[in-house]
Each structure stands twice: as C-alpha cells, then as structure tokens.
C-alpha cells in the first residue's frame, strides 16, 4: 500500500470519526459542505447506505439551499430504492435552481431507473438546451429509448453520440446491440467505414468496425479491424481484449492468449481478462493453468462470480465434486439469478449423492434459463436412474414445451420411452428427432450399449433414411 493511499485512508477515518462523535453529542465540530459530501461518499463507498442517508439528512439540514447536497441526497435515496422521495428532493432543488444541468441529469437517471422513461427523456432534452457537452446526454436519451423497446430512436441517438465523440465506448456497444436486435448490423458497416474514410487514422473507428464484424460472427475481419486499431495505437487495451475474443472464436488459442496478455500489460490486472485466459487454457486442455487463472481472477476481485463458476466447471471435469459444489455455491452467493450456476451446483450435488439438493438446484436453473436443453436432460436423468420414469418424461415434456425444435429432447424422449416399453410412442418421437437432426441419432447408440437394441434402432433409422431420400 502506497504512503499516499495510507495517508488518504487515515484522513477519511479521522473525518468519519469526527462526524460520528458530533452526531452522538460527544464533541462539537463545524463541517463545511465539502466535508459533509466526503462523509457521505465514504459511507456509500463502504456500502453503508443507511449511514450515508443519516449523514446527508444532517448535511441538508445544515445547508438547506446547497444544490450539491440536495442532489447527493436524491442519489442516496435512489441507492436505497426510495425513488419517489428522491424525486421530491430534486423538485425542491429545481425550485431553487431550475436550470442546473447536473440536477436534471440526476433526475433523469432516477426516472429511468424507476421506469419512467418518457419523463426522463423530457428531462434530458431540457438539459440538452443548457449543456456544453451533449454526448453523454444523447447517450442517456438513447438508453431510455432502448429500455422502451424503441430501438430505431435509440440507434439515432447513439449515432449522434459517435458523431460528436467517436471514442464513446458505451455508445459503441449499445449501438451494435440495437443494430443486431433490429437486423441492421450488416448495413451498418458502411456507416462505420464513413468514419474511416474521413479519418483513416481513427483507431476508434477501426475498433467500432471490429465490434460490428465480431457481432456478425465475421471473426477474421474483426481481427483485421482490431489490428488496424492497434497499429495506430499500440496501447489500445480494449482492441487487444476484443481481438483476443475474436481469436478465441476462431480457436486460435495461442494468439488469443497473446492478445489477452497485451491487455494485462497495458491495463494491469483484471478479473475479466484473467477469466478469458482461464477459458482459453481450458480449451487447450491445460486444466491446471485454467484453474490458476480463475484463482487469479477471484483473488483480484472476490465478487467476480463468473470466475467462481469457471472454477466449479473445471473441478467438475476433474471429478472433484465437493470442491465443485463449494465454488458453484460461492458464485450463487454473489449472483442467484444465473441459471448455469445452479446447473453446475446441481450436477455436482448429484454426483455426491445429494439428490434432493440437486433436484432443487435444477428447478432453479430451469426457471432462470428455460431454453437451456442440457438442464432438462440432466434433471430428468436423476429420475430415470431412480426408476421414476413418469417424472423423467414429464420433465422432458416441459422442456419440449419451451423448446419444441430441440432434437436432443426428442432423442432423449425416444430413449426413455423405449426403456418404458412404449415402442409406438417412442417411434413417433424418433421420427420427429430424425427430421430435426438426422446425424444426431448416434446419441441413441450411446444410451443403449446392448448390441441387440442398437441393431433394432439401426434398422428403424435406416428405413427412415431410405423413405426420405
């Protein structure tokens, strides 16, 4: 820890101590506006939001006409999800200073969080008339339209942002997302090329073009665009990182690792980059190195749930079930709303013989991610193995209701029905499976190792192939 950092932390502790002693009546101190703002910010940084509210309420009482404190009061209230009170506080501030841009931006932000997007847009457009730098306001308007599902209007505003500030990364990504949603990505290439024609040395223009190519799954062209960006600015960390992702999609693992290493060289440690490197080593079947980099990620950021999930997956591959459950549960402790975390926990729990815990976790997984086919396959297999065939079949039927075009589910239904002796019904599901994906029929041979059963299935499948040639 640097001397500067240690000194700053000591000063913050002393200020908070002085404030708390004053509130308790142990001492009397005078605080100016800046000191009170600092106390509130310290509490917010430490996630002590109720303390922050207590401090800002004291501050506003001392300085009732301070716009800065009223805006901060609204921010603290919003942090505590008290949106109506936050907006009431801002209305008081507007009566004092109706044309304050920061005040209007804070109000718009809270309105957006509260789902009042039209009011937020009105507020932002008022701010536009008074602000010197309008790119961030245009971006916020675009975000509001995007939340309303008005993607064309969002696109229009994101483009305006980039025409003012080509370096606006958030607008770049959101624009690409909206273009993708509206099937306009392909046509947008000429839009980005316009920037490059105007300034061939604009590394951000090349970078934006790379983002579009990557979304279009044109990974080779994406890599070339990122390479141009890096040739112009060889310390462009985001271009190295994105190039690594495109190389990873092309299974150019060694080159991807080089790109990620360059990102670390420029930006320093990053949990996200460590995770990408871990994923790459996993694809190279270098499990020890993959685990090492996931561990680096969680050491750098103990709240990076994706890294804990990666560790769980690697430990599942190593059949270290207890450790796998431990890390899957750590991921879930941080983020309960990710279906794949529940699925990893469920799989490992089942291997440990914890059937009830596994079933509960699969139920959570499917509620969060009903389109993930493997959940239904693994979940139903628990009941199949325990002989509860009707339950297993019902789980697959639930999966087919959500995913009616899934050949994997049809093939698994075929297998379970054959095991149940329901051959006519099995043949109906087999025909559907073969229509959806004929080549996948080999999964049935894996499910039925007995040669006699395989021969019978082969005859049925071969007859279907002949009939449909």
Identify the top-confidence range among 56-65, 165-174, 389-398, 417-426. Answer: 389-398
The first and second tokens of residue 405, run together, are 């075009």
Tally of residues, the chain:
469
**Does residue 40 or residue 377 have the better pLDDT?**
377
What pLDDT is recorded for position 7? 61
Distance CA 260, CA 280 (A): 10
What pLDDT is recorded for position 2? 46
pLDDT > 70: what percent of the chain? 97
Predicted confidence (pLDDT) at residue 248 exceeds the cutoff of 70 = yes
Average pLDDT over residues 320-349: 96
The first and second tokens of residue 143, run together, are 């975000």
Tell me the three state secondary structure of residue 220: helix
Taking only the tens place, the pLDDT of each residue in 321-333 is: 999 999 999 999 9
Quick check: pTM over 0.85?
Answer: no
Beta-carbon count within 10 A of 166 CB: 20
What pLDDT is recorded for position 1? 43
Q: How confident is the model at residue 280 (pLDDT cuts 50, 70, 90)?
A: very high
Question: Residue 187: is it exposed, middle or buried by C-beta count within 10 angstroms (0-12/13-18/19+)?
Answer: exposed
All domains of the chain, ordered by start, with CATH? Answer: 269-363 (1.25.40.10), 370-469 (1.25.40.10)
**Does residue 166 or residue 321 have the better pLDDT?**
321
What pLDDT is recorded for position 3? 53
What pLDDT is recorded for position 447? 84
Predicted confidence (pLDDT) at residue 204 exceeds the cutoff of 90 = no
Average pLDDT over residues 18-46: 83
Distance CA 3, CA 1 (A): 7
Using an 8 Å Cβ cutoff, are 417 and 425 in contact?
yes
First to last CA, the chain: 72
Q: For CA atoms 380, 384, 388, 392, give the dihedral sign.
A: positive
Distance CA 258, CA 315 (A): 26
Per-residue exposure over 305-320, b if at least 16 CB sit within 10 Å of its own CB, e if not: bbbbbbbbbbbbeeeb
| C-alpha closest to that of 278 among 261, 264, 290 | 290
Q: Per-residue DSSP letters for 391-431? A: HHHHHHHHHHHH-TT-HHHHHHHHHHHHHTT-HHHHHHHHH
Q: For CA atoms 144, 150, 155, 160, give the dihedral sign.
A: negative
| C-alpha closest to that of 262 among 278, 250, 273, 271 | 273
| C-alpha closest to that of 202 among 216, 191, 211, 192 | 192
Average pLDDT over residues 71-76: 87
Predicted confidence (pLDDT) at residue 6 exceeds the cutoff of 80 = no
What pLDDT is recorded for position 4? 47
Supply the DSSP symbol for 441. Answer: G
Phi-psi region for residue 285, left (φ > 0), alpha (ψ -120 to 50) or beta?
left
pLDDT > 90: what percent of the chain? 55
Beta-carbon count within 10 A of 148 CB: 15
């Amino acid at each position: 820890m640097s001397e500067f950092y240690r000194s700053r932390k000591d000063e913050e502790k002393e200020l908070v101590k002085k404030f708390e002693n004053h509130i308790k009546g142990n001492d009397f101190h005078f605080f100016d506006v800046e000191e009170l703002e600092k106390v509130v910010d310290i509490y917010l940084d430490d996630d002590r939001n109720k303390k922050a509210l207590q401090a800002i309420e004291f501050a506003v009482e001392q300085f009732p006409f301070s716009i800065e404190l009223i805006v901060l009061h609204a921010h603290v209230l919003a942090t505590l999800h008290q949106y109506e009170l936050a907006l009431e506080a801002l209305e008081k501030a507007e009566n004092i200073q109706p044309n304050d841009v920061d005040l209007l931006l804070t109000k718009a932000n809270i309105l957006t969080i509260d789902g009042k997007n039209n009011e937020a847009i009105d507020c932002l457009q008022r701010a536009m008339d008074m602000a010197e730098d309008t790119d961030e306001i245009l971006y916020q308007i675009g975000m509001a339209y995007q939340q309303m599902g008005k993607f064309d209007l969002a696109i229009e505003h994101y483009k305006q942002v980039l025409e003012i500030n080509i370096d606006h990364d958030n607008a770049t990504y959101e624009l690409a997302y909206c273009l993708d949603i509206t099937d306009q990505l392909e046509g947008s290439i000429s839009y980005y090329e316009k920037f490059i024609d105007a300034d061939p040395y604009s590394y951000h223009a090349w970078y934006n073009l790379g983002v579009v190519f990557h979304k279009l799954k044109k990974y080779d062209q994406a890599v070339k665009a990122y390479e141009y960006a890096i040739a112009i600015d060889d310390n462009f960390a985001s271009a190295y990182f994105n190039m690594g992702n495109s190389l990873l999609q092309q299974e150019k693992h060694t080159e991807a690792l080089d790109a990620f290493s360059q990102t670390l060289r420029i930006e320093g440690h990053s949990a996200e980059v460590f995770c990408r490197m871990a994923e790459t080593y996993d694809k190279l079947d270098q499990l020890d190195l993959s685990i090492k980099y996931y561990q680096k990620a969680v050491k750098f950021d103990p709240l990076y749930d994706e890294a804990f999930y990666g560790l769980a997956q690697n430990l599942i591959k190593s059949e270290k079930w207890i450790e796998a459950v431990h890390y899957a549960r750590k991921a879930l402790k941080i983020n309960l709303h990710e279906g794949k975390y529940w699925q990893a926990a469920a799989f490992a729990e089942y291997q440990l013989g914890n059937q009830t815990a596994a079933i509960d976790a699969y139920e959570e997984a499917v509620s969060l991610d009903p389109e993930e086919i493997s959940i239904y396959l693994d979940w139903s297999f628990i009941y199949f193995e325990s002989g509860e065939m009707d339950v297993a079949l019902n789980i697959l039927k639930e999966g087919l209701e959500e995913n009616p075009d899934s050949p994997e589910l049809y093939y698994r239904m075929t297998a379970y029905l054959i095991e149940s002796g329901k051959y006519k019904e099995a043949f109906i599901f087999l025909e559907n499976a073969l229509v959806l994906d004929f080549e996948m029929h080999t999964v049935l041979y894996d499910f039925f190792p007995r040669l006699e059963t395989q021969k019978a299935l082969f005859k049925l499948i071969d007859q279907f192939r002949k009939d449909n040639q």
